[in-house]
């Protein structure tokens, strides 16, 4: 496949298109048409509408879990959302931190940052900020965040290991993260793996669950807890865009390999091992 920079450019381009598209048009042109990357999300996204702070303008249906549900956000906390999109989880987090906290969304797609800023302005929030940057190298100083959240983003990032080291760096000692993401428990057919649409739709670049959890451990996190795990069943009308009938049969005869997970972990309160890279 492409090199890491090419992958990132492709992801940026896809999310730029999604950000610039009208939400209604986005849904009607993508659902079932099999030509747009949002096709996969419609299977994965959880219902946000009941959550305090929910803003329909920020919900582009791009998540694959509810990371804030397990993020233990308190009033006054500094929360960082990785790959914040139009701000969906940032505004939920803002409802929990209140006026005294701060929420920082990071995203590398300029059109998403713009959309999120417009949403924040409409809501009149002066403590929700959006920064353009790559989460492999976050535009943040060290030891500033109480909580890091992220929803369906790390699967798109070529260097996941770097992201977990960055999370360790920006969290305060004793801080924690709650991340919803897509992982695999086996291998995907090569055609799905290499399909660009599937890639930008979170599936093709997802890695094995044990490798994913291994990166978290390696970065020095403690109390790593799998809060939620949900199998993702890809419907036939999507599979048929990538696989022949025979291949679909074979694919479906194996156990589900695509999962949405929400994982929680803590940065140690005394974090001074040079190995963990956090002091």
Ligand X SMILES: C[S@@+](CC[C@H](N)C(=O)[O-])C[C@H]1O[C@@H](n2cnc3c(N)ncnc32)[C@H](O)[C@@H]1O
Look at strands 171-184 and 258-266 and give their pairing: antiparallel
The count of residues interacting with ligand X (CB under 6 A) is 24
Which residues are 176's β-sheet partners? 147, 266
Determine the Cα–Cα distance for residues 67 and 39; give it in Å rounded to an integer: 21
Q: Does 101 bind ligand X (CB under 6 A)?
A: no
The phi, psi pair for 47, rounded to 5°, reads -75, 120
Q: Nearest Cα to 175, choosing from 49, 265, 248, 86?
A: 265
**Under rule CB under 6 A, which residues in 212-271 are in contact with ligand X?**
none
Token duo for residue 197: 């649409």
Query: Tokens for 21?
Result: 């598209």
Which of 17, 46, 129, 134 contacts ligand X by CB under 6 A? 134
What three-state secondary structure class fits 184? strand
> Is residue 156 a contact point for ligand X (CB under 6 A)?
yes
Q: Least CB distance from residue 268 to ligand X, whole Å?
A: 26
Considering only 17, 114, 129, 136, the residue that binds ligand X (CB under 6 A) is 136
Which of these segments, 72-80, 91-99, 107-115, 268-276, binds ligand X (CB under 6 A)? 107-115
Which residues within the stretch 171-210 sit at the binding site for ligand X (CB under 6 A)? none
Q: Which residue has the tokens 């249906």?
A: 61
Q: Closer to ligand X by CB, 152 or 167: give it.
A: 152
Among 151, 178, 205, 262, binds ligand X (CB under 6 A): 151
CB of residue 84 vs ligand X: minimum separation in angstroms?
A: 6
DSSP string, 50-116: TSTT--GGG--S--SS-GGGGS---TT-EEEEET-TTSHHHHHHHHHH-TTSEEEEEES-HHHHHHH
Q: Does 157 bind ligand X (CB under 6 A)?
A: yes
Pair 119, 57: CB distance under 8 Å:
yes
Told to check if 71 binds ligand X by CB under 6 A, we report: no
120 binds ligand X per the rule CB under 6 A: no
Binding positions for ligand X, 1-60, rule CB under 6 A: 8, 11, 15, 60
Binding span for ligand X by CB under 6 A among 83-91, 166-174, 203-211, 215-223:
83-91
Chain residues binding ligand X by CB under 6 A are 8, 11, 15, 60, 62-63, 83-85, 88-89, 106-109, 112, 134-136, 151-153, 156-157
């Amino acid at each position: 496949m492409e090199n890491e920079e090419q992958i990132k450019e492709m992801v940026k381009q896809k999310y730029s298109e999604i950000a610039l598209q009208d939400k209604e048009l986005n849904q009607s042109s993508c659902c079932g048409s099999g030509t747009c990357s949002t096709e996969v999300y419609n299977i994965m996204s959880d219902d946000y509408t009941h959550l305090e702070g929910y803003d329909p303008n920020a919900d582009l249906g791009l998540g694959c879990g509810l990371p804030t549900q397990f993020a233990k956000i308190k009033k006054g906390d500094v929360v960082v959302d990785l790959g914040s999109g139009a701000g969906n989880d940032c505004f939920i987090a803002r409802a929990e931190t209140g006026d005294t906290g701060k929420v920082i969304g990071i995203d590398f797609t300029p059109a998403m940052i713009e959309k999120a800023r417009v949403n924040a302005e409409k809501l009149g929030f002066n403590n929700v900020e959006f920064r353009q940057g790559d989460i492999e190298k976050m535009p943040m100083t060290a030891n500033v965040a109480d909580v890091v959240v992220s929803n369906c983003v790390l699967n798109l990032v070529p260097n996941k290991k770097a992201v977990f080291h960055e999370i360790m760096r920006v969290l305060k000692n004793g801080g924690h993260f709650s991340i919803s993401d897509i992982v695999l428990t086996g291998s995907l057919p090569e055609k799905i793996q290499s399909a660009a649409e599937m890639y930008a739709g979170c599936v093709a670049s997802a890695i094995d669950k044990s490798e994913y959890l291994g990166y978290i451990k390696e970065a020095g996190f403690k109390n790593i807890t799998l809060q939620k795990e949900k199998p993702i069943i890809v419907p036939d009308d999507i599979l048929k865009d990538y696989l022949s009938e025979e291949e679909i049969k074979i694919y479906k005869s194996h156990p589900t390999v695509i999962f949405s997970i929400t994982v929680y972990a803590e940065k140690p309160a005394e974090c001074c091992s040079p190995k963990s890279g956090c002091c």
